[in-house]
Structure 1
């Protein structure tokens, strides 16, 4: 068909660090690969080109987002393509190793590449037998390979060894073959930092440190040794994707809630999430609410810190995108969205309710307080304040009793630190200050040098 570069449209979710792909098949039809439940960007790209999604392929049972394949099947009549070994509970075409799908000029060949998951497939796109590129999902990714511990610690090494064999298979493709991974920088599925989200087989042979491992044992040690923590909701979504997400008839809405309704929800065990910027939350918020600013990473922290079984009400600011709140929640399976506070914090105060403030200060005004760093382990090891206590944000709620009293809480910019302060406040801590900045600014204000490496102080 004469495949051109612009026939492949990457659709990047910066917050989750993933890429979906839309392939223009040249006849008004398209193939979607690893589409998430939030289909807004994909739909817009398809509409611009006048495309109907005829095929929706998933490389694996995703743990970090709900698949949009079932919705595409409902809305477009798309044929759903996925591994037969995944035992999905909805209508799809189950594929085994080396099975091929005729896309009408192009061919999609399934390659069994277990490791990230048991049933993982990569999809090799062929044009008259010529290898154009391979959708590698969570197998070979830019300068790494996706994590192998999502099925439990007892399977991590076994799957890492399977990942080694899968990557060896993929590197036997021609060097010019494009590599189109799903997981990229920002993903908790082990992608390293960097701006590149696609690559080639030849480039990965030159730059991927895992491929430089001399043997399977060394590869396994390198991969498993690099695994950090991951959001709690990852443990739920693979099964939700196997069952198939519910089809949505329309964009879900956020009903308006009175201050009384929000107060009752909180008192009855629900959650109030304040999505305003950190500085706005600091200036005044509902006691017991959680600060999770609405930004690209909103879904990650919502899914890491809150259960999906309790109702959630939101406090929003002027001009914040309510649809963005809804879709970030729904794409990770959070559907018990009770609504939003009518009038925001001004409405809360006008109803005679109190508010709580949290000091949010620059480094030179932080005072002589214990320093609590809530960044990820790798960030902490790369450079931290001398004597800092380190508790990752994702584990802070369970370890709040061990957090130092009267601390200055810090991350890199302040958003995660404000979330941490709200968790600590909810757990009964008082006299918490949040650093508007990060360790570089704090150390510079005190004439200190950052400590690098694993000198971690844990409570």
Structure 2
């Protein structure tokens, strides 16, 4: 299930188990990274017109396995009284307040080069495309706060964590862009520091 709605809409309420890959220009790239081309795909979109956009984007990358979409989007789901999952969202200022809390793991899901140029102090690192391979390295009893460059990949990562049963997951909209604009502390990796992936 791909939920192609915006990051904030997805966080507010989504179908349990859905992966959030928002319908933006990078949508086909991330579908290619995150979704098995052999699986049937169901999509949730903001409006009916987005169904064609999603279908066209999927077809361009060779995904011709769209099995269906949620008619009337999340409105029909909520009106049927079906279960909703949510992902809490923190501003970068809230992340800064919580980052030294021993019950919080800050998870940087950007690429290696981005991470090496600076990160939120104390953050663990795991590139979102390889996150599922490293879930055993995360403590399920912790609150996991995900961030990336702008929040797009962080929402993909947060949705993966939720899908795999992590209960306390937080996404950081604006992520690194907002962190730098807010002039918050930045750490650089030590030469010997290893990353999860």
Give the TM interval when normalised to the shorter protein: 0.7 to 0.9
1:435 and 2:164 aligned:
no
Cα distance in 1, alignment partners of residues 85 and 123 from structure 2 = 27
Unaligned runs of 5+ in 1: 1-271
**Aligned ranges 1:327-366 → 2 under 5 Å:** 327-366=56-95
Cα distance in 2, alignment partners of residues 440 and 353 from structure 1 = 36
CA 392–360 in structure 1, closer or farther in 2 if over 3 Å, else same: same
CA contact (8 A) 1:375 1:391 kept: yes
SS of aligned partner of 2:143: coil
Unaligned runs of 5+ in 2: none
Which residue is equivalent to 1:248? none
C-alpha deviation, 1:433, in angstroms:
0.5
Cα RMSD for the two superposed structures: 2.1
CA contact (8 A) 2:48 2:72 kept: no
Q: Which has the higher strand share?
A: 1
C-alpha deviation, 1:329, in angstroms:
0.8
Which residue is equivalent to 1:288? 17
1:305 and 2:34 aligned:
yes
Cα distance in 2, alignment partners of residues 447 and 397 from structure 1 = 29
C-alpha deviation, 1:431, in angstroms:
0.4
C-alpha deviation, 1:456, in angstroms:
4.5
- What CA deviation, in whole Å up to 9, does each residue of 1:42-61 have, x standing for no partner? xxxxxxxxxxxxxxxxxxxx
- What CA deviation, in whole Å up to 9, does each residue of 1:309-351 have, x standing for no partner? 1111100103653222112111111111011101111101111
CA contact (8 A) 1:393 1:416 kept: yes
C-alpha deviation, 1:453, in angstroms:
6.9
1:417 and 2:146 aligned:
no
Residue correspondences, number: 188
Cα distance in 1, alignment partners of residues 7 and 163 from structure 2 = 16
CA 361–329 in structure 1, closer or farther in 2 if over 3 Å, else same: same
SS of aligned partner of 2:14: coil
- What CA deviation, in whole Å up to 9, does each residue of 1:48-78 have, x standing for no partner? xxxxxxxxxxxxxxxxxxxxxxxxxxxxxxx
Normalising to structure 1: TM-score of the pair? 0.39
Q: Which of 384, 400, 416 lines up with 2:119 in the alignment?
A: 384
SS of aligned partner of 1:307: coil
- What CA deviation, in whole Å up to 9, does each residue of 1:146-183 have, x standing for no partner? xxxxxxxxxxxxxxxxxxxxxxxxxxxxxxxxxxxxxx
Which residue is equivalent to 1:458? 196
C-alpha deviation, 1:440, in angstroms:
5.5
1:396 and 2:131 aligned:
yes
Larger radius of gyration: 1
CA 352–449 in structure 1, closer or farther in 2 if over 3 Å, else same: closer
CA contact (8 A) 1:381 1:453 kept: no
1:407 and 2:136 aligned:
no
Cα distance in 2, alignment partners of residues 436 and 427 from structure 1 = 21
CA 443–297 in structure 1, closer or farther in 2 if over 3 Å, else same: closer
